A and B are shown apart, each in its own frame.
Chain A
């Protein structure tokens, strides 16, 4: 089941098309890494999904409820989000910000729950310190605490790692994984730090110039990015015999006489063996990508 499913959503600002007919599918229980360069439309999509901005065209469902239904407000109450920046009252303390959020969310926490929430984001000792005197990282952590007040089923986080130090990023990563695995919270997270997303995301959406380039699961991405040799030959059956004679076990066949070999072997060995068996090689590539390389290759294609 998809927690969020968009259908050709579009957002125009005058003549500028910020989001262009985007279809997006976020599975229940997933951590969806939303990847795109600045101005690609990630934040706009988050604002559309949270009701902050109005769609120009298209539609979406959230927990199976259409955005056009009046029930959308009820299901939004099961979501929490940080869009662009942490939205806090600077003249209040961390605890007062939680009390304030409790009021507009419509929940009442116990003092113990408030303490636990603050402890979760390491702000339990901030006392009477006003939020205006917090560091950027502290504000970001408090914003995350506010998101967890109503134990949401869906969390939308727009660049939540911005301003965090490496320790803070590691903490946040751990917290998000814990929330996802222990409480089953579905998370939509955008970030420029792809190496961090790579550690937690179960699915990815790559966006460029307001258009969704690709949605892919992390398993598919690993397969695509795994260190491998991609080979195209003229004779598939002969090639299989050659690869087996080389005692290769981890290779996959693809259409158009293509193979992807994941075993440890040099290109030179493969070429020699195929040549000996008189199998012509029509194309040969070595792949050693990570998410970042994959994304960069993808957007080059997208341009």
Chain B
């Protein structure tokens, strides 16, 4: 594994160095990362980055099948518009996790900020998945059009609900799973809160096992609490916002 040290270098310098290293290596470790943006952007299938420190905004943007593992916390827009591959964060992340994500999987050990999964979408075999171990902020799954969001709420915050206000505002596709009760006042209009079906339970089993494998958590303990499923009741929540028909 090749090692690149980030330190205070600019994101351009760092990312050029990483790309150069990836030309001859499949595994690259980046150490001492201090907020440099766009790390691993467009990373291709078969390539793997290990990130130590605090990667900057848009880490893994347009990820193209590659894998990124972060030992530290992510900032805003982790996995922005990613089209495939895998991101693992051993820590928490900021706002807009998985923004407009189209395929692949993101596993976050702890909490995520607001607007996680905003504008996620799916198409046939492209079924993106985001798993968040802690709680999430406001606007979870805002304008969500497809894919799966899963919130485990393992580390409760004294002042914060498992899911923040305005959950699933404008959601018109995909599904959100929340472990435990969802505060009713935080769920937007046009959203049904259901019990997961058989296919859902099989998927949940798989996602939670994967979460536990990545972060060394106890699967049985997590599964003791039942899950809720949030789905939109309409595919066009704003069809009549400005006109009656």
Binding between chains A and B: no
Footprint of A on B, CB under 8 Å? none
Binding site for B on A (CB under 8 A): none
